[in-house]
Structure 1
Amino acid sequence: MNHDEAPILSPGQDNTQVLGMDFHHPVFPLSALAILAFILYALIYPDAANSHLSAARGWSIEYFDWLFMIAGNLFVLLCLALIAMPVGRIRLGGSQARPEYSTTSWFAMLFAAGMGIGLMFWSVAEPVAYYTDWYGTPLNAEAHTPAGASAAIGATMFHWGLHPWAIYGVVGLSLAFFAYNRGLPLTLRSAFTPILGERVRGWFGHFIDIVAVLATIFGLATSLGFGASQAAGGLNYLFDIPNTIGTQLAIIVAVTAVALFSVWRGIDGGVKLFSNINMVIALALLTFVVVTGGVLLFVNNLWSTALAYVSHVVPLSNWVSRDDTTWYHGWTVFYWAWWISWSPFVGMFIARVSRGRTVREFLVAVLLVPTLVTLVWMSAFGGTALNQSAAGVGALADGISDVSLAMFQMFEHLPLTTLTSSLAILLVLIFFITSSDSGSLVIDNITAGGKTDTPRGQRVFWAVLEGVIAGILLYGGGSTALSALQAGAVATGLPFTLVLLGMAFCLIKGLREELREPAGARLA
């Protein structure tokens, strides 16, 4: 494409202004109608919705496990290759572009949007679940053995390390490149202009953006609903606050209210602020666990976790003739579908805050640094939990009874239990806030045709809607309705896998064209 020509798409093209809203037609109205229809379905027929959508999720995982695994492996190899290749020098936004955010704030926002919430609960619960054979063991490792412990922590790192971040990296880099180096709107359809041209303005582009909106808002509402239940369980465990629907709804209202404040203030005054607070609290909690659990023990856990990850990553990446099919489908393939269904949200948010970074800098920060941080976090939290379980200390010795309580059960056997557990609950709630406000900005971005300067009320609308969906489903249908919502979100992982593979192809094509431009116009 000649960069002197007007782009095929431009931000806000085909938009409609109604009641102070500036939205893309037909993405906004069709997304809103689909959301309304699903809520009514899940409320009126929660059991049927859960059954049908769980069947769809199970079918995609059962018959397309090979596609999820191959795609995940390809994304990791692609990201590593792009870091090493000459295209790594390309700067997002052109040679004169400079980052809008400091490296510290940038990374804090990436991590908070990516998977901060999940790590809080699963860094403790997941390795103990594998070690005690709660729902199968990775690679059929024998439970309650040193080999089982190695497989447990290695598989947990596998699920939270390079592969999910590579998925986010491909989406984020594709969106950032085509938005900042090709002048296209910051929406998913823009990434397909190299192969579709003008046709991205048609129904193929509408479909991609609508499914991205649905996957994002369903995923966020599910996390908010289940997260409220988990936080309420923690409050009950620590302070005997009744874990009732009223408590859970109060948590949703509180989180949504703070998210509204953040969304109203935008990225600089909201998302960045809470992400930085998150990082400080997380670092304090991590330091406490390392020191009180024993520094030498942590160093040993760090080494053993890294070794377990390296030694298990290849066999766990295999999709042919697996003997641990139940565990493999129930954990790994489910995770891959979940990460892919979240990739439009996380990838777009990463793209939005990454203008001015080089391709190499972007991928190192999105792929390698989070993996190293996860390694440290897993070694501290997961390693401590495994040590307690193996030594027969506390509730974790018997495995996992409730995922939401596992972290607090671990803290029981460290000093200052009430203080650390309270900090953990606060951290979880702030992670929910950062996910909610960044998700609202992303959904608003897509439904506004790629515009980033939409009316504040429009951003508030989506933030409120997330909380309303979570609250209504939790109150009207309970965990069954939320499970249906989660199953629906995961089921979108299958079509989005194909979308992401197409994105990867278009990204490679676009980067190669950029590198051939005269005088390296957009190189760092």
Structure 2
Amino acid sequence: MKRLTPVFIISITISLAFILWGVIAPNNLDNITATIQGFITDQFGWFYLLAATGFLAFALILMFSPIGRIKLGKDDDEPEYNNLTWFAFLFTAGMGIGLVFWGVAEPINHFYAPPTAEVIDSPERAAAIALRYSFFHWGLHPWAIYSVVALALAYFKFRKGAPGVLSAAFEPLLGDKINGGIGTTINVIVVFATIFGVATSLGFGTAQISGGISNLFPMENSPFLQIMVIVIISVLYMGSSLTGLDRGIRILSKTNIYLAIVLMLFLLFSGPSNFIMNSFTQTLGGYLQNLVRMSFQLDTFNPESNWVQGWTIFYWAWWIAWAPFVGTFIARVSKGRTIREFIIGVIAVPTVFSALWFSVFGGTAIHLELFGNSNLMTLMEEYGTEIALFAVLQEYNFGIIMSGIAILLISSFFITSADSATFVLGMQTTNGNMNPPNSVKLMWGIVQSLTAGVLLWSGGLDALQTASIIAAFPFTIIMIFMIISLLKALRAEKIPPRKIKEYE
């Protein structure tokens, strides 16, 4: 890179200052960020709920409207990647480590501490609600959030020829101001949200890898082990980042899909298969039936409860913090698809896969609680949330081998997510360069790893959740204005005619 951009200089300065703060005064960092996070969730929880549901409504309206026929590119452009590779990119970037970490842990948490007090004495009712809210938190809403950002970036980049930075999506609204201080501010916020959103996921992955290692070998799941995991995985993903999008990330994304399917099929057929598929069918119906109510659910009339703040609002903030990273990456690999095809692919397919994943892993765990002698909640309280997956796998034959595969899958997700994030951060800080220099990607790789390590060191998983909620708040506002700008541009489009198939 011949000249450092203002976005790169400002972003790297803020990131290094944060890391230095965490090294010098970790307790102070934890206390201040926790105070900020508490204020945001208490005062603006309603804002996150309305925003996330609004993003979903916006995506669905575009999908069903004539605008859906517009291509993300020129009218004669064709998709760069086939559907399998595209879905692998979507799944790996959009969920990755989090899905593996929470696949067992979240349903079990909801089973023992459901959002509504009246089901505490009804295990069967608690089980149904536990899976339903897991579907809810990993279903339509997060993927709609991703789709909004990705759609705006892909539209302006491939159809309008704009730079691949998020500020370019504001040109219809701000004009030439996007090239000045306002545009720089938008892009710096994007980088900030990406670093902390990804650091949260990397922290979860680190905790689970070290938890799996300590479960398989006589080693303590200590902060030292977690830091060693970060160091080793960081070397691997920074090496992968040097190979580019079409080699390292592409190969790893497909590997992730294959490993995830192997793990899921093992538990589906080794575990209570009929119970799992019944749970999937019933919970999918309950999720769709209660979607609107859950989308606006708050603890308004039960102020002593913080269930919604601790789960739904955290998730919506986490997805929004991830949206710049995932949105940029999805946009980069979605050239040539129509808006309708894009939205269906980004929202529907991953939602169904996530629902099946929670049915298999969460359903198996709940079956063990209801009909076995397991008590996963006690294990998680004693050894950490990260141990839940391995405890379930080892209830079945070949559990040790499957635990090893799970560690390999988490590591692969870790490498791919971090690799993809260095690519996105490189794009956003080099004025949208579609192939950012390796030196820039390596710099951001180091910053990501250091940020995840500092957050784990200062406050563990709570600090990671806190950082993502804080980072998401300003970006939520940016997303709202981005939608307004995108609508303004789409209104000026000439809608392509509907294709009518001729039958002989």
Normalising by the smaller structure, the TM-score range is: over 0.9
What CA distance in whole angstroms lies between the structure 1 residues aligned with 2:366 and 2:62? 36
- The answer to whether the aligner puts 1:407 opposite 2:377 as a matched pair is no
Aligned-residue Cα RMSD (Å) equals 2.0
> What SS is found at the alignment partner of 1:354?
coil
- The answer to whether the aligner puts 1:140 opposite 2:117 as a matched pair is yes
Q: Deviations over 1:209-237 (max 9, x none)?
A: 11111221233234323422321111111
Match of 1:506 in 2: 485
What CA distance in whole angstroms lies between the structure 2 residues aligned with 1:483 and 1:155? 21
Q: Deviations over 1:84-103 (max 9, x none)?
A: 11111111111111111111
Matched letter for residue 184 of structure 2: H
Q: Deviations over 1:279-310 (max 9, x none)?
A: 00111111111111133222212112212312
What CA distance in whole angstroms lies between the structure 1 residues aligned with 2:57 and 2:461? 35
- Distance change in 2, residues 1:433/1:141 (3 Å): farther
- Of 129, 152, 176, which residue of structure 2 is paired with 1:151? 129
- Of 241, 251, 254, which residue of structure 1 is paired with 2:232? 254
Q: Deviations over 1:472-502 (max 9, x none)?
A: 665xxx2427754652332121111111111
- CA contact 1:92–1:181 (8 Å) conserved in 2: yes
- Distance change in 2, residues 1:141/1:257 (3 Å): farther
Match of 1:59 in 2: 39
Q: Deviations over 1:112-148 (max 9, x none)?
A: 1111211112121111111112xxx223341352221
- CA contact 1:411–1:417 (8 Å) conserved in 2: yes
Match of 1:103 in 2: 83
Match of 2:502 in 1: none
What CA distance in whole angstroms lies between the structure 1 residues aligned with 2:39 and 2:111? 28
Decide which moves more: 238-247 or 156-165: 238-247
TM-score (norm 2): 0.93
- Of 420, 428, 448, which residue of structure 2 is paired with 1:466? 448
- Distance change in 2, residues 1:434/1:243 (3 Å): same
- CA contact 2:198–2:421 (8 Å) conserved in 1: yes
> What SS is found at the alignment partner of 2:2?
strand
Matched letter for residue 490 of structure 1: I
- Of 117, 122, 133, which residue of structure 1 is paired with 2:102? 122
Match of 2:140 in 1: 162
Match of 1:37 in 2: 17
The structure 1 segments of at least 4 consecutive aligned residues displaced by more than 6 Å after TM superposition are none
What CA distance in whole angstroms lies between the structure 1 residues aligned with 2:320 and 2:428? 17
Match of 2:274 in 1: 296
- The answer to whether the aligner puts 1:17 opposite 2:17 as a matched pair is no
What CA distance in whole angstroms lies between the structure 1 residues aligned with 2:271 and 2:464? 38
Match of 1:448 in 2: 430
Match of 2:175 in 1: 197
- The answer to whether the aligner puts 1:269 opposite 2:247 as a matched pair is yes
> What are the residue-to-residue correspondences of 1:66-85 with 2, within 5 Å?
66-85=46-65
What CA distance in whole angstroms lies between the structure 1 residues aligned with 2:28 and 2:463? 9
What CA distance in whole angstroms lies between the structure 2 residues aligned with 1:168 and 1:303? 26
- CA contact 2:10–2:188 (8 Å) conserved in 1: yes
Match of 1:11 in 2: none
Match of 2:413 in 1: 431
Q: Deviations over 1:375-398 (max 9, x none)?
A: 111111111111111224323265
TM-score (norm 1): 0.90
- CA contact 1:391–1:397 (8 Å) conserved in 2: no
What CA distance in whole angstroms lies between the structure 2 residues aligned with 1:376 and 1:169? 21
Matched letter for residue 361 of structure 1: E
> What are the residue-to-residue correspondences of 1:296-375 with 2, within 5 Å?
296-319=274-297, 322-323=300-301, 325-375=305-355
What CA distance in whole angstroms lies between the structure 1 residues aligned with 2:126 and 2:460? 35
- Offset of residue 249 of structure 1: 2.6
Q: Deviations over 1:139-158 (max 9, x none)?
A: 33413522211111111111
Matched letter for residue 107 of structure 1: F
> What SS is found at the alignment partner of 2:119?
coil
Alignment gaps of 5+ in structure 1: 1-15
- CA contact 1:128–1:399 (8 Å) conserved in 2: no
- Offset of residue 445 of structure 1: 0.3
What CA distance in whole angstroms lies between the structure 2 residues aligned with 1:119 and 1:481? 19
What CA distance in whole angstroms lies between the structure 1 residues aligned with 2:393 and 2:168? 47
What CA distance in whole angstroms lies between the structure 2 residues aligned with 1:204 and 1:166? 26
Percent of counterpart pairs with the same letter? 39
- Distance change in 2, residues 1:373/1:293 (3 Å): same
- CA contact 1:301–1:379 (8 Å) conserved in 2: yes
> What SS is found at the alignment partner of 2:149?
helix
- CA contact 2:101–2:205 (8 Å) conserved in 1: no
What CA distance in whole angstroms lies between the structure 2 residues aligned with 1:160 and 1:101? 25
- CA contact 1:192–1:506 (8 Å) conserved in 2: yes
Match of 2:501 in 1: none
- Distance change in 2, residues 1:151/1:323 (3 Å): farther
Q: Deviations over 1:394-449 (max 9, x none)?
A: 23265742210111111122221101111111101111111100000000000001
Match of 1:489 in 2: 468
Matched letter for residue 65 of structure 2: M
Aligned length: 493
What CA distance in whole angstroms lies between the structure 2 residues aligned with 1:386 and 1:453? 45
- CA contact 1:298–1:380 (8 Å) conserved in 2: yes
Matched letter for residue 392 of structure 2: M
Alignment gaps of 5+ in structure 2: 499-504
- CA contact 2:299–2:307 (8 Å) conserved in 1: no
- Distance change in 2, residues 1:309/1:434 (3 Å): same
- CA contact 2:30–2:458 (8 Å) conserved in 1: no
Matched letter for residue 476 of structure 2: T
- CA contact 1:111–1:370 (8 Å) conserved in 2: yes
> What SS is found at the alignment partner of 1:138?
coil
Matched letter for residue 461 of structure 1: M
- CA contact 2:128–2:283 (8 Å) conserved in 1: yes
- CA contact 1:132–1:399 (8 Å) conserved in 2: no
> What SS is found at the alignment partner of 1:64?
helix
Match of 2:203 in 1: 225
- Offset of residue 52 of structure 1: 1.1
What CA distance in whole angstroms lies between the structure 1 residues aligned with 2:298 and 2:133? 17
- CA contact 1:31–1:213 (8 Å) conserved in 2: yes
What CA distance in whole angstroms lies between the structure 2 residues aligned with 1:291 and 1:176? 40
Matched letter for residue 2 of structure 2: Q
